[in-house]
Amino acid sequence: MPLIVIGLSHRTSHVNVRERFAIADVKIPTALQSLRNAGLADEAVILSTCNRVELYVATPLEPRQAFNELRQFLLNCADYREPLTDEIYMLTEPHSLEHLFKVASGLDSMVLGETEILGQLKKAYDLALQHQHTGARLNKAFQKAFNIAKHIRTETNIQRGSTSVGSVAVELAEKIFSSLNDRQVMVIGAGDTSEKTARSLLSRGAHSIIVSNRSHERAVALAAELNGRAVHFDDWAGEFHQIDIVISSTAAPHYVLDRKKLEPLMKLRQNRPLLLIDIAVPRDIEPEVNFLENVYLYNIDDLQTIADGYLKQRQEEIARCETIIREKAKGLLNHPGPPGLTPKSKPAFGHE
């Protein structure tokens, strides 16, 4: 039974489409069960991050039927009824395996070579494994992907330069403010990405960190680690009079900051420049705030511009990494494995 990948990513769709398809962690087990109950997959893993939503499935369906039915499954999950063209892609073997290996290695990321995606992929796999939605087929493929990611990061220079969304966000801050020294920073949402971003800001000279999170205990813990200060989630707006930079990355299904809320806060700040970096999907900050004077809003797609600058630094390593991945995928397909594991290449549908 072949491995199929279907989904959409930053390469095929804008953030305003991706955020509609994002699946919260708490809803993934139910979605996985629905996939299997509908007969669309015998094994399945769902990966949902700020840059991609992808289904990795071992399916009994023929490729074309699989594409049509799995595509409809994604549309139904998102309750998405607007026209789509090439936003959703599907890959079959060996391209699906190569894609999985590229994702794990950071080769398909917005920031080439970034490391955060490997942790996100492991988390997605562990969640499916714990709920018994994987089997011999996906277990072998994902374990191989993790090993290849380690090999590529050890044996190549693909991580040269900034290698995470958080570090790129910091570089953006340094372009808006000539220096981060004495800048006051607020982090809304105390997840892994926020924590890494906060640490990068401090290492570049930020004066202090204020952390706000729906779980105040988590905010207190992170603030203690960063020698910062925690505020209750409902009280963060009261800190805006002294803030220069906001990094927002919550799991909220709606905007936590909109123009109506920000406009009076800007008056209290006497319209000093304010940099807002929204790295959440769905987005935390309403795009309309960009129309306010002295407010600079950047979302996850805007970070692509900076990421492209680092692409040139790693171009010479891409071919080397892709050669490794093709050889590993071919080896996995040729190696004796569970029923249905075949080296035969099947067509890819859509775009990667």
Pair (190, 126) in one structural domain: no
Q: Are 254 and 227 in contact (CB under 8 A)?
A: no
Q: Provide the domain count of the chain.
A: 2
Pair (135, 30) in one structural domain: yes
Whole-number pLDDT of residue 208: 82
Residue 94: cis peptide before it, omega within 30 degrees of 0: yes
Confidence band, pLDDT 50/70/90 cuts, at residue 311: low
State both tokens at 130: 């714990």
Is the pLDDT score of 349 beyond 50?
no
Q: Which of 309, 277, 20 is nearest to 169 (CA)?
A: 277
Q: Which residues pair with 58 in a beta bridge?
A: 3, 43
Pair (322, 280) in one structural domain: no
Q: Are 145 and 203 in contact (CB under 8 A)?
A: no
Structural domain of 62? 3-160+309-334
Is the pLDDT score of 181 beyond 60?
yes
275: CATH = 3.40.50.720
The mean per-residue pLDDT over the stretch 149-166 comes to: 73
Is the pLDDT score of 99 beyond 90?
yes
Is the pLDDT score of 205 beyond 90?
no
Pair (176, 261) in one structural domain: yes
Pair (100, 241) in one structural domain: no
Pair (142, 7) in one structural domain: yes
The mean per-residue pLDDT over the stretch 282-308 comes to: 86
Which one from 50, 141, 201, 246 is the annotated catalytic residue?
50
Is the pLDDT score of 3 beyond 80?
yes
126: CATH = 3.30.460.30
Pair (51, 97) in one structural domain: yes
Separation of alpha carbons 274 and 263, rounded Å: 12
Task: Summarize pLDDT for 6-33 with one digit per residue, the tens.
Answer: 999 999 999 999 999 999 999 999 999 9
Q: Are 321 and 156 in contact (CB under 8 A)?
A: yes
Edge-first strand order for the sheet with 208-213 is 229-232, 208-213, 184-188, 245-248, 274-278, 295-299
Is the pLDDT score of 224 beyond 60?
yes
Is the pLDDT score of 46 beyond 90?
yes
Number of residues that make up the chain: 352
Whole-number pLDDT of residue 192: 79
Separation of alpha carbons 39 and 61, rounded Å: 9
The three-class DSSP label of residue 214 is coil
Q: Confirm whether 339 is domain-assigned.
A: no
Whole-number pLDDT of residue 307: 67
50 is catalytic: yes
**More confident position, 228 or 331:** 228
The mean per-residue pLDDT over the stretch 280-299 comes to: 92
